[in-house]
Structure 1
Amino acid sequence: MALDGMSARLTIHLSASAVWHHKPAYAEIVHRARRQGLAGASVFHGFEGYGIHLTIHHDKPSRLRAHGPCAVVVVDTEDRLRAFLGALEDILSVNGVAVLDRVEVHLPAPG
């Protein structure tokens, strides 16, 4: 599904070490997004961050996949992302926090 113009971005912040049914929670979110046919999803691993407990989490670049903060970013229409957010309640009740914001998508002109 290609998007152009006004869309929305769902960003889920969680620890890279968060696990959902014996696999990384971020991977489960990406696979669910794919199954729902959403336009795109990416995982970004961070070097340092903190959350609700105000504890600084940081890691060396060589260990980012196992520890430290990460964010899953999903882009699609706002209504599809709101529906998807409802389907993530099981994961979000244990791991992470989600932010939904409107964005403008710019795609290159064909040619």
Structure 2
Amino acid sequence: MEYSGNGKILKIYIGETDKWKHEPLYHALIKKFKEKGMAGATVIQGIEGFGLNSRIKTAHILQLSEDLPLVIEVVDQAEKIEKILPEIKEMVTEGLVTIEDVRVISYTANNKEKQDKN
């Protein structure tokens, strides 16, 4: 698949210990995006942050945190992002969900990835 043009980026800010039906929420979200045919999704782990409860979560060597911040990003066409939102709202019971406009310059797979799919 090759694509360029206007799209949306969906960002979901959660903690790494958040769950959905007994599995990590970030993993459940990635599976949901794959199942729905989204263009792709990435989970990014933060090293420090705080949210609505104002507790700082950190990855400092001397302070072990069991709930580091995560950001899941999905870039796709606006219609596909809007269509999946009701399911995301159901799954993300704590955290922050945002959508922004993006301009996709290039979205292509290299030849090896294309061959692996066949």
Give the TM-score, by structure 2 length: 0.80
User: Could you tell me which amino acid in structure 2 is paired with residue 20 of structure 1?
Assistant: W
Task: Report sequence identity in percent.
Answer: 24
**Structure 1 residue 77, shift from structure 2 partner:** 0.8
Provide the residue aligned with 1:95 in structure 2. 94
**Structure 1 residue 60, shift from structure 2 partner:** 4.1
How many residue pairs were aligned? 107
**Structure 1 residue 42, shift from structure 2 partner:** 0.5
Provide the residue aligned with 1:104 in structure 2. 103
Decide whether the 8 Å contact of 2:16 with 2:68 is kept in 1.
Answer: yes
Looking at structure 1, the residues matched to 36 and 44 of structure 2 have their Cα atoms a distance apart, in angstroms, of: 21
Decide whether the 8 Å contact of 2:14 with 2:70 is kept in 1.
Answer: yes
Alignment partner of 1:87: what SS? helix
Looking at structure 1, the residues matched to 43 and 107 of structure 2 have their Cα atoms a distance apart, in angstroms, of: 23
RMSD: 2.2
Q: Which ranges of structure 1 fall in alignment gaps of 5 or more residues?
A: none
